[in-house]
Amino acid sequence: MTSERSAHMSLRRIFLMYLAALAVLFTSVTASLFLTDRVTKQVEVDASEINISGRQRMLSQRIIYLSQDLLTSDGADTENTRMALRTAIEELEAAIDLFEASHIALSTRSDLDAARVELYFASIDGATPLNARVKDYLVQARKIVDGNDTAQSLQRLKEIERGGLLADLDKVVAATEAASLQRLNTMRDLGWYSLIIALAIIVVEILLVFLPGHRLIQATLDTLRARNVQLSDAHKSLQAKTQSLLAKNEQIASDRKRLEDAWQESEALRREQSDFTYAVSHDLKSPANTMHLLLNEMSLEHAPKMDEDGNQLLEMALGTVKRMEMQIEDLLQYCWATNPQSEPETLDLNECVSDVLVEFNDEISQRDARIDVEPLPQFFGHPMQIKVLLKNLVQNALKFQLDGAQPQITIGVNDLGPSGVIELWVRDNGIGISPENHSKIFGLFQRLHVRESYPGTGLGLTTCHRIARNHGGNIMVESEEGAGSCFIATLRPAALRPSTIELDDELSITRSAA
């Protein structure tokens, strides 16, 4: 992360330097173009001034030549010469006008070189300034054209010319050419300077931008190559893991199929065993009832004829038969609970509790038991199984009490949310259960007390546990010895009840049962 940030900062710094170099280069080129444009315009002005000065010199010579012809000519030739002279004078006047316009422009410039200012307007060695002489020259030429004092005007023109007019005009041309040449040299120097600056900027960009940028790009490419190698290795590793996972998935699918087959076989065996146990228990119930009737008949008819030992044996036989009948009944109930045949339906738990309590009316009255039932919801499940669950829990709450104690039993439900899962609980004030026996009491035929104190078969809580499992839940107890008990059965709607075989912590097969 640090190297990436450093590379990003270096790239940003190089980019800023590149922009700065471009800005300097752009400024240099712009300034060079601006100065070149100004020098070019000034050179154009200089060329115009050179042209004007040259034309003034040429026209002044032509004026003298035409003036002489005018004085020596006569007749038609004189008129033609006069017209040519007038044309020359007009051209001279135009040249002077142009010169005057240039003079006005020059006089307002602050950068006009001193040499030309002196040539135009200064009095050198007491001589009349060039500008005044040119104007005087123009006046004399116009007099000749107008025919006023022609000989004297011509003489004055020659004097002005001999006074160095042409030489001074040549000096103006030379000075203008020199100034123009200087500007051309300046423009050439600016071109060289611009080229040098551009080359310097290119060198700076190479040293400060392109070389570091090349190194940075090379480092980035090296990093990318290294990461590509890492990605390639990771891809190969991922492919290997994918192949391994595919193989494991195939193995899991095979194990799943095998376990499903085993589960179905086990379920079939369990049902077969349950059906067999139910059939045997049902078949034993009739002989047990017959034995009970016969023993009762013997007790009524033959007890007075029997001695004390015979009566004692008869009582023991009756007690044994009663226990056998109770055990057969509980075993039938357990088999019925482990192999439900009824379809689930929506039932009112309040009605279920009422039906169960009716069965214990006599015992409740005899024991003066207090039964509190909280408002109970509707539930989707097996009605008969829910009633058996409540019956066994209420029966235990009434049974496991201290002698002479008034049973206090509360029945309620904890609603666990919109999924329909509930916790159906029964709380009592009985003798309680020590924590080490909490899991033991739900096993088959498990008893914590002797039959003489608390009769029973040890199948009631086992049946409750099985019913809770049939409804996709479980049952637990919260109790301390001597502090009463609270049995809590977690129940799901039958439509959501899972049927699951768990082999270990890593593999389980779950099937949805309606």
Does some domain include residue 411?
Answer: yes
* Predicted confidence (pLDDT) at residue 235 exceeds the cutoff of 60: yes
pLDDT, position 511: 32
Q: Which two tokens stand for residue 60?
A: 């002044």
* Predicted confidence (pLDDT) at residue 265 exceeds the cutoff of 70: yes
* Predicted confidence (pLDDT) at residue 139 exceeds the cutoff of 50: yes
pTM: 0.42
pLDDT, position 508: 33
Q: Which of 211, 229, 246 is the last residue of a domain?
A: 211
DSSP 53-106: HHHHHHHHHHHHHHHHHHHH--HHHHHHHHHHHHHHHHHHHHHHHHHHHHHHHH
For the stretch 329-356, pLDDT in tens is 766 666 666 555 567 888 899 999 999 9
* Predicted confidence (pLDDT) at residue 115 exceeds the cutoff of 60: yes
Does some domain include residue 257?
Answer: no
- C-alpha to C-alpha distance for 514 and 499, rounded to whole angstroms: 10
**CATH code (residue 484):** 3.30.565.10
Beta strands 408-415 and 370-373: pairing type? parallel
Does some domain include residue 334?
Answer: no
CB of 303 within 8 A of CB of 314? yes
Phi, psi angle pair for 71, to nearest 5°: -75, -30
Does some domain include residue 463?
Answer: yes
Q: Which of 211, 243, 261 is the last residue of a domain?
A: 211
pLDDT, position 229: 92
Q: Domain tally for the chain?
A: 2
For the stretch 271-320, pLDDT in tens is 666 565 656 655 666 676 777 777 777 777 777 777 777 777 877 777 77
Of 71-80, 254-263, 373-382, which range is least confident? Answer: 71-80
**174 vs 66, which has greater pLDDT?**
174
Does some domain include residue 74?
Answer: yes
Does some domain include residue 451?
Answer: yes
* Predicted confidence (pLDDT) at residue 514 exceeds the cutoff of 50: no
For the stretch 24-66, pLDDT in tens is 767 777 776 776 777 677 667 767 666 766 666 676 776 777 6
Give the model's confidence band at 383: pLDDT under 50 very low, under 70 low, under 90 confident, else very high.
confident
Q: Which of 193, 211, 229 is the last residue of a domain?
A: 211
- Give whole-number Cα distances, 51 to 87, 98, 99, 169, 173, in Å: 19, 11, 10, 11, 8
Phi, psi angle pair for 439, to nearest 5°: -85, -25
pLDDT, position 486: 93
**245 vs 307, which has greater pLDDT?**
245
Does some domain include residue 452?
Answer: yes
* Predicted confidence (pLDDT) at residue 120 exceeds the cutoff of 80: no
Domain span at residue 85 reads 1-211
* Predicted confidence (pLDDT) at residue 376 exceeds the cutoff of 80: yes
Of 327, 485, 481, 468, the C-alpha closest to 394 is 485
Whether residues 202 and 348 share a domain: the answer is no
Sheet holding 422-428, edge to edge: 370-373, 408-415, 422-428, 485-491, 474-479
Please enumerate in sequence order all residues whose Cβ is within 8 A of that of 108, keeping only pairs 6 or more positions apart, or say none. none
CB of 392 within 8 A of CB of 399? no
Does some domain include residue 88?
Answer: yes
- Return mean pLDDT, the chain: 75
Of 118-122, 177-181, 221-225, 504-508, which range is least confident? Answer: 504-508
Whether residues 207 and 349 share a domain: the answer is no
